[in-house]
Amino acid sequence: MEKVKLRVAGISYSDIYTGAYALILEEENGGKRLPIVIGAFEAQSIAIQIEKIKPPRPITHDLFVSVASAYKIELKEVNIYKLEEGIFYANLILRQNDNEVVIDSRTSDAVALAIRFNCPIYTTQEIMDKAGIYMSFEGEEKEGTQQKEKSNKIKKHEAEKERSERKNPFAKYSLEELERMLKKAVENEDYEKASAIRDEINRRKKE
């Protein structure tokens, strides 16, 4: 069975499912992306690892990594091997010395662990053919011509910038204030807020 290597492109809020998020995985050598609906906790766990936010106490996925490390268990790879009735199925390939074992896992948990172990994520070509789409990070499907795509991206960027200026709750704070707010959010284990503050800090530093 042909395997397709994936990487995490990002996470966005789901407009379809209330309280859920869309995990966006993309082909390492291709243009298709695979959107997977995940819960808020898993989204936060993935986001804080991507953003390199260090929680004051280990969350569940960090605890798994600590236990695996103590017993010299390596996560070799993650496989998203089946899509059935809109549900993605995944497994973990674990190795300890010369022994290998396959463990069933929710896809969101598998990805959260994969980015912590820095191991590859794979799916099948069949799943990519069935559920993979050409889209921007925000979910806009790719247009038929490059010119139209460029025009739409410009318009979308301008609209997002305008919305951000109106709705961004952190726009009025200085970088120093944002750093203090980030530290407090992490201490309170409010990782969703911490991730949003870190995004604002990164945006400011790029300007």
- The pLDDT tens digits for 160-183 are 555 554 557 777 788 888 888 888
CA angle 67, 72, 77 (to 5 degrees): 90
> Residue 144: its pLDDT value, please?
42
Between CA 196 and CA 147 the distance in angstroms is 32
Q: What is residue 116's predicted lDDT score, i.e. its pLDDT?
A: 97
pLDDT of res. 37: 92
Three-class secondary structure of residue 147 per DSSP: helix
pLDDT reported for residue 2: 82
| Residue 166, Cβ density class (10 Å: 0-12 exposed, 13-18 middle, ≥19 buried) | exposed
CATH for 3-131? Answer: 3.10.690.10
Task: For residue 143, count other CB atoms closer than 10 A to its CB.
Answer: 14
Q: What is the pLDDT of residue 180?
A: 87
DSSP 177: H
165 by Cβ neighbours in 10 Å (0-12 / 13-18 / 19+) ranks as: exposed
What's the confidence (pLDDT) of residue 1?
Answer: 66
Query: What mean pLDDT, rounded, does the chain reach?
Result: 84
Burial 88-125 (b: 16+ CB within 10 A, else e): bbbbbbbeeeeeeeeeebebbbbbbbbbbbebbbbbbe
Q: Looking at residue 158, what is its pLDDT?
A: 54
Query: pLDDT-derived band of residue 121, with 50, 70 and 90 as boundaries?
Result: very high
Alpha-carbon distance of 90 to 103, in angstroms, equals: 9
Query: What does the pLDDT look like over 18-58, one tens digit per residue?
Result: 678 999 999 998 889 999 999 999 999 999 999 888 888 89
Q: What is the domain partition of the chain in residue ranges?
A: 3-131, 146-206
Q: Look up the pTM and report it.
A: 0.70
What tens digit of pLDDT does each residue of 142-151 get?
444 454 454 4
Statement: residue 97 has pLDDT above 80: yes
* Six-digit token string for 37: 């609906």
In whole angstroms, give the CA distance from residue 89 to residue 104.
8
pLDDT of residue 173: 84
| Statement: residue 205 has pLDDT above 90 | no
